[in-house]
Structure 1
Amino acid sequence: MLTTSAESYPQLEETGKQTSSASAGGLVRRAAKGTAWTVASYVAAQLLRFVSNILLSRLLVPQYFGVMTLLNTVITGMNLFSDLGLAPGIIRSKRGDDPVFLNTAWTIQAFRGIGLWLICCCLAWPIAAFYGESQLKTLVPVLSLCLVISGFASTNLATAERHLEVRKLAGMEFTVQFTQLIFTLVWAWLQPSIWALVAGRIFSEVAHLYLGYRLLPGHRNRFAWNREAVRELVGFGRWVFLSTALTFLSTQSDRLILGKLVSFRTLGLYGIAFAFADLPRQLIISFCSRIAFPFVSKFAQMDRDDFLMVALRYRRIVLFCAAALLAVIVNTADLGLVWIYDRRYHDASWMIPILALGLWHTLLYSTISPFLWAIGRPRYHAVGYTLSAALMFTAVPLAFHLWGLAGAVWAIAFSDLPVYFANLYGGWRQNFFTLFQDFQATFLFAALCGLLFLARTLAGIDLPHPIALH
């Protein structure tokens, strides 16, 4: 057997360092471009979302949005409770471009979607009985067709994320959102009912499926089964499965809980307030899934010290930008809601500052977790969400009983705080300790909030007060 070493050939070590440095520089440039595209596509998507919400709020009543909030939560729950982490598995795997590996992942994904739809059909009657809404018996099976459709989505979507091809993904998703907006508005104008929202959601899944095959070049999927691929996907996915199931319980169960405690009108108002407050988190999630996770996965095999230096510098920029955006939302988003929506929706304005404040620690841990996932340590995320889910199911009903809806909203806003501490601890164990950087970013966020609140007070604009809703 022939062997080589840096000691035998010193020039190889230097060449390796230069190659590694060049590769790192290339990845940083691609990540920077990807970040710009992510931000641009997110801004465009939110503009479409605002236009859609404004127009649909003129055509539909708040109750419809409340029912749709509950339906989306059920579908999201089915997705997350069965998530095997196939896309992250493709992104991080050395076999991520292997056709056999991709076909195996696609086969698992397709059968999973069909199985989830059958489960939703069985659960439709119990869900309708629990929430006292007979219409859910029909709506749940119909909307859950989205699970079947998305199950046949091309693995080229994950491949594009793996190679940081954010521009293609951004263009495709903007097209999907725009066509969905037109489709939903036309339906709501012709027949203003909950079915406009349901049909619009199904249409978006069909468009996403079609464009994924049409616009993204690469491997064409077919049914296949490779034991080694299954073993690798399931081995990584077992922690993803646990983490995403707990993610749902921690971050989505608020709608399920409130759906039982308040009317569908109030649930619809809560959903609109949450959408306003959630803007920075959605941007960070998009950044982490499309840029940060693929970015750090590429660096995972490189020198850890060099990687940590790059990652911390990149994270600081992201957090400082997020601090500015979130501070603006905390202090002004309620005014935007009152200006954009008609009077039927104004009762949602007081929830926005509370929910937005609770997003700060969410942004902190969302920029730690991609590193832990990239090196195969998702267990810290899972532990954090276990504690958060337990807190959600105990604190929210108790707070609602003691202080009404305002107490429940405060409990929801800070229920995922354990996830931050779990990720912080995991980062420390993996030599990625961010506490000092978190203090810096938090100080900036608090200072910006204080300055904007002072400006608002001097302008004679008070923060909205909680309103008793049922």
Structure 2
Amino acid sequence: MTIISRQMLSQITWVAGSYGVTQGLRLFTNVILARLLAPQLFGIMLIVNTLRTGIELLSDVGIGQNIVSNRKGDQPDFYNTAWTIQIIRGILLFAIALLLAQPLADFYESKQLIEIIPIISVLFLLTGFQSPARFILQKQQAVRKIALYDISMAVVSAIVHIALALYSPTIWALVAGLIVATSVSATTSFFLIDFRLHRIKISREHVKAIISFGKWVFASSVVFFLAMNFDRLYFAKQIPFAILGIYGIARTFSDMIGMLVQRVGSMMIFPKVAAFAKERSELRPAIAGLRLKALFATACGLSILVALSDIIILILYDDRYTAAAFMLPILMAGAWFSILSTMGESFMLGIGKSVHSAQANFAKLLWLVISVPLALTYSGFIAALGAIAIADLFRYISLSYSQWREGLSFFKQDILLLGLFAILVVAWRYIFMQLGLVADFNTWLAYGSIMNGG
């Protein structure tokens, strides 16, 4: 078996293509909603979505990862047991969210949260009952079917959110849109694979296997959530909701590239490495060439996006969101280390070493917990932004050490690619400045001058 094949390249095309379409739809939706709704509404929803994600991840036992990685994952007894555990978890999370509504509203000093959180908690029930069919298809590498499903759901979400915002340009348009879109997704998931294959089932053998594998997924998920969302949770308490909403838009853009690589990693690299039948010593040579080509293409594309990112904000959004034009280039440049780290995590999960992901995310979290409050307190928002941008460097360092210990190190390759990426960013920015497509350095700084002052 080889890692590189024409079939895999075709699958990557489907993964990347569907991701591009879905993100394009979400971007279109975000731009329309930004024109219909006030920035502070995005700040409130940023808190709500972050807390919702946190509650989910703080109880994650890796249902999807279990189905993909376990050799019995596509057998009815196994995935029905996994589905039953998922349902029980969803019910428990619903109850927990109801109990936390008042304390969270008090902590963030927002009366709206006490009304929003109980309604949003219904999402835990919906996702709890959602079919595990998507994970089964992922294990079977039915990439095309998953891609078409994701695009369909993105279309539904766009239509629902925009229609509700036009009808009622309030926070409730965002809340109701999320619930309706999730309901459609949960319902249609049962039609991906024969509905009759899903039934309540508890197998002690499979429960033991799921929990055994999931304990490190749980640990990794807890640290991953805190590492990915510490900035949002901290800023929600320290800066106005309007600025938080603007920051959330910049983060959404900067996260897109990393999410694409994460998608490719989870749907392609992780299953391929997990199914690699030859000796471990043959794994690195099998993936080195494809990895280099993929990261070279990523460096070329990402460098152009970094160089143009501020003008993208200025074109798509009105003057209320100008500060995001300063934030985005900084955050997007830091996405390079996120890309390297995500790819490394996929390799580690593929060989069954999920503990390394938890260690790497802990290194990132430790940096954020120390650096961001200090930077914001003593140097202002811009310095805190810089600390956030380089946070994934510490995640990458940890993963690089783990990969070296497992004989999967690509450190020299990464150093060359980093140098190439930096040179390309500077070169593209200079070219675009000469062409008059982007602002000069002083004008770009002016976009963010309000942040330290406000």
Residue 217 of structure 1 and its aligned partner are, at CA, apart by 4.3
Number of the residue aligned with 2:151: 174
Query: Is residue 2:366 matched to residue 1:390?
Result: yes
**Matched position secondary structure for 2:169:** coil
> Is the 1:246–1:382 Cα contact (8 Å) retained in structure 2?
yes
| 1:248-267 alignment runs, 5 A limit | 248-267=225-244
Equivalent residue letter for 1:55: I
Query: Is residue 2:206 matched to residue 1:224?
Result: no
Number of the residue aligned with 1:71: 48
**Residues 32 and 219 of structure 1: CA distance in aligned 2, closer, same or farther (over 3 Å):** farther
**Matched position secondary structure for 1:349:** helix
Equivalent residue letter for 1:462: D
The partner residue of 2:221 within 232, 244, 266 is 244
Residue 467 of structure 1 and its aligned partner are, at CA, apart by 2.4
The partner residue of 1:121 within 90, 93, 98 is 98
> Is the 2:274–2:352 Cα contact (8 Å) retained in structure 1?
no
Number of the residue aligned with 1:431: 407
The partner residue of 1:381 within 357, 360, 364 is 357
With 303-312 and 133-142 compared, the bigger mean Cα shift is at 303-312
With 381-390 and 419-428 compared, the bigger mean Cα shift is at 381-390
**Matched position secondary structure for 1:154:** coil
Residue 456 of structure 1 and its aligned partner are, at CA, apart by 2.8
Query: Is residue 2:445 matched to residue 1:468?
Result: no
Distance 1:195 1:341 in 2: 22
The partner residue of 1:404 within 377, 380, 390 is 380
Equivalent residue letter for 2:115: T
**Matched position secondary structure for 1:278:** helix
With 455-464 and 438-447 compared, the bigger mean Cα shift is at 455-464
Number of the residue aligned with 1:30: 7
Residue 51 of structure 1 and its aligned partner are, at CA, apart by 1.4
> Is the 1:456–1:462 Cα contact (8 Å) retained in structure 2?
no
Residue 246 of structure 1 and its aligned partner are, at CA, apart by 0.2
Residue 321 of structure 1 and its aligned partner are, at CA, apart by 1.7
- Partner deviation per Cα, 1:248-294 (whole Å, 9 max, x = no partner): 11011211101001011000000111112222111101111111111
Distance 2:6 2:128 in 1: 33
Distance 1:148 1:318 in 2: 38
Distance 1:192 1:313 in 2: 50
Query: Is residue 2:345 matched to residue 1:369?
Result: yes
Residue 171 of structure 1 and its aligned partner are, at CA, apart by 0.8
Number of the residue aligned with 2:38: 61
Distance 1:92 1:343 in 2: 48
The partner residue of 2:254 within 255, 260, 277 is 277
Distance 1:296 1:47 in 2: 30
**Matched position secondary structure for 2:296:** helix
Structure 1 spans left out of the alignment, 5+ residues: 1-20
- Partner deviation per Cα, 1:185-240 (whole Å, 9 max, x = no partner): 11111111011111111122112112211233476221111111011111111001
- Partner deviation per Cα, 1:24-72 (whole Å, 9 max, x = no partner): 37x7333212100011111111221121112111211111111111111
> Is the 1:168–1:216 Cα contact (8 Å) retained in structure 2?
no
Number of the residue aligned with 1:17: none
**Residues 219 and 99 of structure 1: CA distance in aligned 2, closer, same or farther (over 3 Å):** farther
Query: Is residue 2:303 matched to residue 1:321?
Result: no
> Is the 1:44–1:174 Cα contact (8 Å) retained in structure 2?
yes
Distance 2:194 2:304 in 1: 40
Residue 113 of structure 1 and its aligned partner are, at CA, apart by 0.9
> Is the 1:31–1:164 Cα contact (8 Å) retained in structure 2?
no
Query: Is residue 2:62 matched to residue 1:85?
Result: yes
> Is the 1:31–1:295 Cα contact (8 Å) retained in structure 2?
no
Distance 1:194 1:43 in 2: 27
| 1:345-356 alignment runs, 5 A limit | 345-356=321-332
Q: TM-score, normalised by structure 1?
A: 0.92
> Is the 2:93–2:124 Cα contact (8 Å) retained in structure 1?
yes
**Matched position secondary structure for 2:78:** helix
Equivalent residue letter for 1:259: A
With 72-81 and 455-464 compared, the bigger mean Cα shift is at 455-464
Equivalent residue letter for 1:68: M
**Residues 292 and 218 of structure 1: CA distance in aligned 2, closer, same or farther (over 3 Å):** farther
> Is the 2:363–2:398 Cα contact (8 Å) retained in structure 1?
no
Number of the residue aligned with 1:162: 139
Distance 1:271 1:164 in 2: 33
Equivalent residue letter for 1:402: Y
Number of the residue aligned with 1:10: none
**Matched position secondary structure for 2:449:** coil
The partner residue of 2:391 within 408, 415, 421 is 415
Residue 370 of structure 1 and its aligned partner are, at CA, apart by 1.0
Number of the residue aligned with 1:458: 434
The partner residue of 1:41 within 8, 14, 18 is 18
Equivalent residue letter for 2:371: A
Distance 2:333 2:196 in 1: 44
> Is the 2:373–2:384 Cα contact (8 Å) retained in structure 1?
yes
Distance 1:281 1:386 in 2: 18
> Is the 2:141–2:267 Cα contact (8 Å) retained in structure 1?
yes
Q: TM-score, normalised by structure 2?
A: 0.95
Query: Is residue 2:179 matched to residue 1:202?
Result: yes
Query: Is residue 2:80 matched to residue 1:100?
Result: no
Residue 442 of structure 1 and its aligned partner are, at CA, apart by 1.0
Aligned pair count reads 446
**Residues 228 and 439 of structure 1: CA distance in aligned 2, closer, same or farther (over 3 Å):** same
Number of the residue aligned with 1:140: 117
> Is the 1:250–1:416 Cα contact (8 Å) retained in structure 2?
no
Equivalent residue letter for 1:116: L
> Is the 1:277–1:329 Cα contact (8 Å) retained in structure 2?
no
Equivalent residue letter for 1:344: R
Equivalent residue letter for 1:119: I
Structure number with larger C-alpha Rg: 1
Number of the residue aligned with 1:444: 420
Structure 2 spans left out of the alignment, 5+ residues: none
Q: Cα RMSD over matched residues?
A: 1.5
